[in-house]
Each structure stands twice: as structure tokens, then as C-alpha cells.
């Protein structure tokens, strides 16, 4: 099944399953990981079961697992294309362009 077909809760469960697998690969108990991450053992268990957790918890767990590089796979730095760089003439983009009526086609107003 595609990740796009999964519910938010199912995605959290998958992340938790992968974190648990990574922890077991490192042969760490939940308590040892919790101690290394500065978290409670209950938090580790809940995270591995897919209970909603914060991004800080994810960073703490990945750091304790010595797996922060996983964030590059998760959300790689998009960089800037040469065409965009030429258009900007070296200026860094700081905000999004305003939306036009054409941008909103197909979107529902709730």
C-alpha cells in the first residue's frame, strides 16, 4: 500500500515500528534507549506503538540511536536549482508568491 493511502495514525504506527526495529538492531532495551534519549521508558513504548508524539521526541530518539542521518532521507534538503538561482540573481527567497485565482482552482473553501 502506498503511504498516501495510509491514515495519519497508520503512518505513526509505521514510524514507531521502524524506530523499534532500529532500537532492536542496536540491541537496546526501551529503558536504555529512554535513558540515552532523556525520555521516559513509557514514552519510548508509546512512540513504538504509534501514539502521537512530537518532533522533539523523534529527534531525541534518533540522536540516542545514533541515527540522525535518517532525517536526510526523511526530509532531504531540496537545495536550489540553477534556473531558480539565475532568476533570483543570488538573492535567497524569503517568502511565497501571493496566490492568484488560478492557483485556487479545484480547491474547496470550507
Q: Domain with 32 in it: what CATH number? A: 1.10.260.40
User: pLDDT, tens digit, for every residue of 69-98?
Assistant: 998 888 888 887 777 777 767 566 677 778
pLDDT value at residue 98:
84
The helix/strand count (H/E) of the chain reads as 6, 0
Asked if the model's pLDDT at residue 32 lies above 70, the reply is yes
Domain that holds residue 56: 3-74
Structural domain contains residue 79: no
Q: What pTM did the predictor assign?
A: 0.71
- Angle (CA) 8-28-39 rounded to 5° is 60
Work out the percent of the chain whose per-residue pLDDT is above 70: 84
Decide: residue 35, CB within 10 A, 0-12 exposed, 13-18 middle, 19+ buried: middle
Query: What's the domain count of the chain?
Result: 1
Structural domain contains residue 62: yes
Structural domain contains residue 87: no
Asked if the model's pLDDT at residue 105 lies above 60, the reply is no
Asked if the model's pLDDT at residue 45 lies above 70, the reply is yes
- 3-state class percentages of the chain: helix first, strand second, coil last, to nearest 5: 60, 0, 40
pLDDT value at residue 76:
84
Structural domain contains residue 38: yes
Amino acid at each position: 500500500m502506498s503511504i498516501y493511502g495510509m491514515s495519519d495514525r497508520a503512518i505513526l504506527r509505521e514510524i514507531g515500528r521502524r524506530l523499534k526495529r532500529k532500537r532492536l538492531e542496536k540491541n537496546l532495551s526501551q529503558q536504555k534507549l529512554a535513558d540515552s534519549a532523556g525520555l521516559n521508558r513509557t514514552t519510548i513504548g508509546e512512540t513504538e506503538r504509534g501514539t502521537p508524539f512530537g518532533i522533539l521526541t523523534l529527534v531525541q530518539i534518533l540522536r540516542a540511536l545514533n541515527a540522525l542521518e535518517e532525517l536526510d532521507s526523511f526530509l532531504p534538503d531540496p537545495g536550489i536549482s540553477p534556473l531558480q538561482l539565475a532568476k533570483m540573481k543570488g538573492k535567497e527567497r524569503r517568502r511565497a508568491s501571493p496566490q492568484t485565482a488560478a492557483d485556487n482552482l479545484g480547491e474547496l473553501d470550507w
